[in-house]
Amino acid sequence: MKTLSFLVKPVSAGCQLNCTYCFYKDIAENRSRANYGRMRNEVAVALLEKVFQAADADADITFAFQGGEPLLAGLPFYEQFADAVKQLRQPKQNVRYAIQTNGCLLNAAWCSFFHKHNVLVGVSLDGWRKQHDLYRKRKDAGTYADVMRAIQLLRRHHVDFNILSVLSRQLAREPKKLFAFYKEHGFSHVQLIPCLAPLQEKQSAYSLTPELFYQFYRSYFDLWIQDVENKQYQSVALFDNLLLLLQGKTPGTCGMLGECQFQYVVESDGSLYPCDFYVLDEYHCGNVLDTDLLSARDCSRAKAFAYREEPQLCAACPFQPMCHGNCKRLRSVFMNETQCGYQRFLLYAYPKLKEVVEIGAGRKKRREVTG
């Protein structure tokens, strides 16, 4: 295989925080075993052996670590993991690392490791103190100060990082304030993660709605496009992916092509699953201790998971050839029985996005002409 990505859960659902909206805590509560504990070294080695056996000699391989809170695995776990990668990889195989953290455990030692191994760090931060501390709590205390301290550490150690904000219905009502907050703190790469209701519910007090999705992104886009026109580009995951789609390229976010591809989610006991949203018993596709990667990807449960029905609203949508219904788990955020907030946003933003692509293509041609 030429390109491989793995989402590794080194401490399963373990976390020192108790965030109200945590989707993985909800998943853990809907399976026979909520927490599989810390990943054993033999499981990590088995994973790496399977990966490098399946990968082409010049493959691009990404290991992304999430949780729970992946830093709870401890720095020695990652040092041993990186050492094993160095021993097992072939000379032309390119390995990248990423990690998503709440930031509360970060210190200089972690930052030195991230810098040494070029780890891209995703830091969970839901905006200003009052908004962030609304849902991201340790017992009864907020975590905003800890996260901002962690960001300063990352900057001091020259570690690349993105800001990951959960777009709850409360945050979605403050697009201008959030945009200003990002700019004030110099956050140039942000990803807004739609806040989901629990698996067994259609909506919750914090989950995003189609109407709020549209209203938020319309207002945020207006601010973003003004900066683009002034040659100040803020990388926003949704906009970046839409620009890639408009250029006929593959977006970086799974689901934006309307297909459920096998994502190789690896729980801490080595169990394999097709998607981070569905790490459930019914989608268990083997274990790295005894299953090769191709067998997991092609098993009957993986095929059953990939099956999807397109919503009726998609049939007459002008963006259906580009969207194909998007991610089936996120549909509750995008659409309901009467409207699709994603479609409404595209109707509004599409002309300007096309202009951005065309201007970029023109500049590229001029650079090619002038050498």
What pLDDT score does 181 carry?
A: 99
What positions carry a catalytic annotation?
276
327 Cβ neighbours under 8 A, 6+ residues apart: 254, 255, 256, 277
**pLDDT single digits (tens) 92-130:** 999 999 999 999 999 999 999 999 999 999 999 999 999
What pLDDT score does 361 carry?
A: 56
What pLDDT score does 370 carry?
A: 36
Domain that holds residue 258: 3-370
What pLDDT score does 253 carry?
A: 86
Q: What is the mean pLDDT of residues 161-179?
A: 99
For the chain, the domain total comes to 1
pTM to 2 decimal places: 0.94
Instruction: Give the pLDDT band of residue 364 (cuts 50, 70, 90).
Output: very low
CATH number for the domain spanning 258: value is 3.20.20.70
Closest CA to 266 of 134, 22, 70: 70
Is the predicted pLDDT of residue 367 greater than 80, yes or no? no
**pLDDT single digits (tens) 247-297:** 999 898 888 887 888 999 999 999 999 999 999 999 999 999 999 999 999
Q: What is the mean pLDDT of residues 216-239?
A: 96
